[in-house]
Each structure stands twice: as C-alpha cells, then as structure tokens.
Amino acid sequence: MSDAPLPHESGPAAGTPRVVPATGIQLRDVDQDALRVLSRLQRNGHEAYLVGGCVRDLLLGRKPKDFDVATAAHPRQIKRLFRNGRIIGRRFRLVHVVYGPHVVETATFRADPVAPENGSDEEPGDLLITEDNVYGSAAQDARRRDFTVNALFYDPSAGEILDYVDGLPDIEAGILRTIGDPPVRFAEDPVRILRAIKFATRLGFRIEENTWQAMCSHAHALSRSAAPRVAEEILRLLRSGTVLGAFRMLRASGALATLFPEIDAYLGRRDDPDPAAHDRADLYWRLLEALDADIHAGAEPTPAVLLAVLFLRVVEHKSEAGGGPAAALAADLIEPLATSARLPRRAVEGAKRIIAMQHRFTQPWTQSPRRVLFLHSEDFPEALHLFRLRSAAWGQGWDVYEGWLERHRHAREMPESELAGLRRRGRRRGGRRRRRGARADSPSADAADGSDLAG
C-alpha cells in the first residue's frame, strides 16, 4: 500500500462527528506514553486520537487496561517517527510503540474491506472478514468498529470527544449496540458475539434487542471463526471475574452449544423438569461463581486451572456414570483444543493432569514416599488451586484443603537430601512394578504415577 496521505472526505458521505468537551476525563488518568505518541503524531501533521475501550472506560470512571491510538498515518510513516516502534500483524497491520515493558498500540484508520472480486475463493454473499488492511478516514474507522461504545475518539490536546456513531448516549444509558446492521456485523466477524458478552457482563450493560437477536441467530457461525481468536476470548472471559454471567449468556445465545457441545449437553435444557438436571447445572454454575470470587480476591489462575474449571464437572459426571477414568476422559475432552485452538501445550497437558489428580486430595493421608513426592510435583500447586475452587463452590472439603496446604508448607521445608532419598525409594518401587509387567511411566511418575491416579 502507498504511504501517500489520505484525502479527507467531505460532504454528507464523510459524516460530521458530535464533538463534546471531555469534561469527565482528567489528564492525570491518561497514560503518559500514549500522550507522547499522540503528541508526536500530531506535531508531524497526522490526525491522531485515543480510541476504543480506553475512552469508554475513562468516561465510565474505570481504569483502562490499555491505551490505544488511531491515526491517519500509515504503519511505515508511524515507524519512521518512532525508532522504538515495530510493525506487526498480517490481517490487521499496526505498530507497537515500545517504552520499556509498556506498549502503545498504534493503528491506522481503517475502512470497510473491499468486496472480493470474481474468481475469489470466497463464496458470493460471504461476509466473513479475512483481510482488514483497507485504510480510511476517522469517520470510516469509527463506523467499522464493533459497538457504539467502543468507537469514540478522544483528543487530549483539544480536550474533546468525537462521536460519529451515537456512542455517548449508549454509554449514558448502559446499552451495548452494534454499529450498523447487527446481522451483517456478526456475519462479518462472529467473534463479536463473544466480545459483546464480555463487554455486557464486565460493564453491566444491557444488550440492545436487535443486537441480541442477531447474536442468537449467528451463534452457529462461531464454528467458522479462527480457533485461536475464539480461545483467546474464552480465556479472557474465564479471567474476567464475570465468567458466571458470561457463560449463562453464552448458553442462552446458543454460542455454548457451538463452542463446547459437551458442556452444553451436561447443563441440559433450561426447561428440563428433572430436578437432577437442575442440580447438575447448579454444580457447574457454582464452580464458575467460585472462580469469579477467587479472581476478585486477587488470585491469578493459570491457563491450566482455567481450562480445568471449564471441564471438571463434565469429566467427573461422565466418570461417575461409568464412562471411564477421569484421566482418559479429560484427555478426550481437552486434547482437541491443543490443535484446533493452538492453546499452549503446557496448559492443555496441565489441565488434564490436575483434573485427574483431584481424587487424591480426598484419599486418607499417609507418609508414603509417593504421597510426600506428590506434594513436590510440578502440578501440585495448580491441582490444589483447583481443589480449593471445588471446596469453595460446593461448601465442603475446606478443612481437607487447609490440611493439604499445611502439608505443602512443611514439604517445602524438607531438606534436599531427604527429598532425594524419597525419590530413590520411589524409583526402586517403580522398577519392581515394571518387572511385574507394569507400564513404564514418564519421569513425573515418581510424583504421581498412573496406578495411583486410577484410584
């Protein structure tokens, strides 16, 4: 693409923003690095604003997580102004301006993608966006964003908010609404369904009726979305502190049945008259509620713990019904995510192992080498975190959790020489079992071998 300056549109087609004083925003609440980026761009003749979630959160009195910049400058022009900038992305090229550990994401104004030409691989009428590097004006950039509350521009130097899409009234009313025709916007990018749920639950906003209906009618299209993007949004929901409301909304919209059919089947129909079905669903919701409470208390669960929370009750229910050992069931459910969603292998393998370990916490404690080595296993802290969430969710086992927590504290004080002796004893016992025909396990078998996990 050329780096030639973009012509300013004029007349009704360009649109005129509603400009209001940013009286509710204090400059001290704005990231200083983002202000540096804006200042340099504007001094060099480029239109530039803060945009998106940071503007929304500042207006709502919330602390923004990130400060993003949108500008008329093209990526290579931005890069020339910032030696500390690097161009990233293919589907959506932008510049990361780096200040030490901090990154200011700086993107060029975008316009709607050009319709595919005849002979393209895309089917006629297919609205799914696969390329997104068509540059445009500020007005075009605002209109191509997902929701009105995320499309506001803030110019700190002028102290003004620019609103091209009536986002300000929706922020004041607490309404989440798509920009443009809802069915078209969700057909273009079905992942917007997950983003709508994330914003609605996190901000406490009501989803506008036409937007909600389009979410429900396009939930099936999530199966066509890039699996890594879907997985990223699901992990964000799990870390949000509002996952209970989010997953209820996923279920109500039909998105849960598309993304996680096993979980949807476990929860059953909402109008099921069988009390056992309601009790089963209640156990799942209580576990998500415990996760929310844990995050609000300051905990930072690992991806392995988050994935385990997602599937724990489904695995246990199938195992209790005679479907097989928990380890095998967890592998069947979670393993496909490693390839389809390209989730970190460590998180997937960790989730499988800590689900399989849960029954060990309720077994009688003995001072056997294997029990002591379990306390020193790499997966123990995550497994105990999951057990803590279970205990909090179901109102039982908290004394058991505290007992294991105390044993873990003592185990960490064990001299290394004593621990090495226990490991040698464990290996000798493992060797005798293998001579009787048992399968040789991985090195981690010293801490949690397969026979012990089977119960």
Residue in the block written with tokens 């464990």: 426
Among 197, 201, 198, 178, residue whose Cα is nearest residue 188:
178
Residues 294 and 150 in one domain: no
Alpha-carbon separation of residue 91 from 94, 125, 129, 130, 132 (angstroms): 10, 20, 9, 7, 6
Contacts of 194 (CB under 8 A, 6+ apart): 222, 230, 233, 234, 237, 250, 255
**CA atoms within a 13 Å half-sphere pointing along the CA-CB vector of 154:** 30
Question: Does residue 328 fall inside a structural domain?
Answer: yes
Here the CATH number for the domain that contains residue 342 is 1.10.3090
Residue 142 counted as domain residue: yes
Residue 291 confidence (pLDDT): 98
Q: What is the pLDDT of residue 321?
A: 86
DSSP 152: -
What is the rounded distance in angstroms from the CA atom of residue 354 to the CA atom of residue 365?
18
Does the residue 229 lie in any domain? no
pLDDT given at position 441? 37
The token pair that represents 33 in the structure block:
């690095």
β-strand partners of 147: 178
Per residue in 319-342, pLDDT (tens digit) is 988 888 888 999 988 888 777 667
294 inside domain: yes
**Same domain flag for 146 and 290:** no
The pLDDT assigned to 420 comes to 62
Residues 150 and 277 in one domain: no
**pLDDT tens, residue by residue, 370-425:** 777 888 889 999 999 999 999 999 999 999 999 999 999 888 777 676 666 656 66
Count of domains in the chain? 2
Report yes or no on 224 lying in a domain.
no
Does the residue 4 lie in any domain? yes
3 and 151 part of one domain:
yes
Looking at 172, 191, 215, the residue that finishes a domain is: 172
What pLDDT is attached to residue 6?
Answer: 38
Which structure tokens are listed for 77? Answer: 């022009």
Cα 345 from chain centroid (whole Å): 17
Long-range pairs for 203-208: beta carbons < 8 A, 24 or more residues apart: 203/60, 203/149, 203/174, 203/176, 204/174, 205/149, 205/174, 205/175, 205/176, 206/174, 206/175, 206/176, 207/175, 207/176, 207/177, 208/175, 208/176, 208/177, 208/178
Mean pLDDT for back-to-back runs of 10 residues, the chain (455 residues): 37 70 94 97 98 97 96 96 93 91 96 60 52 84 96 97 97 97 95 97 97 97 91 94 97 95 90 85 96 97 96 92 87 80 84 94 83 87 97 93 91 68 60 45 38 34
35 and 158 together in one domain: yes
310 is in which domain, residue-wise?
A: 260-455
- Has residue 214 been placed in a domain? no
Tell whether 16 is covered by a domain. yes
pLDDT of 454: 31
The catalytic residues are 66, 68, 146
- The whole-angstrom separation of Cα 244 and Cα 284 is 9
- CATH of residue 51: 3.30.460.10
Alpha carbons 406 and 329: distance in angstroms, whole number? 31
Q: Clarify whether residues 395 and 292 are in a common domain.
A: yes
Mark which of 148, 172, 196 sits at the end of a domain: 172
**Domain endpoint, select from 138, 172, 206:** 172
Identify the pLDDT of residue 70: 98
pLDDT at res. 114:
59
Tokens, residue 297: 């208390």
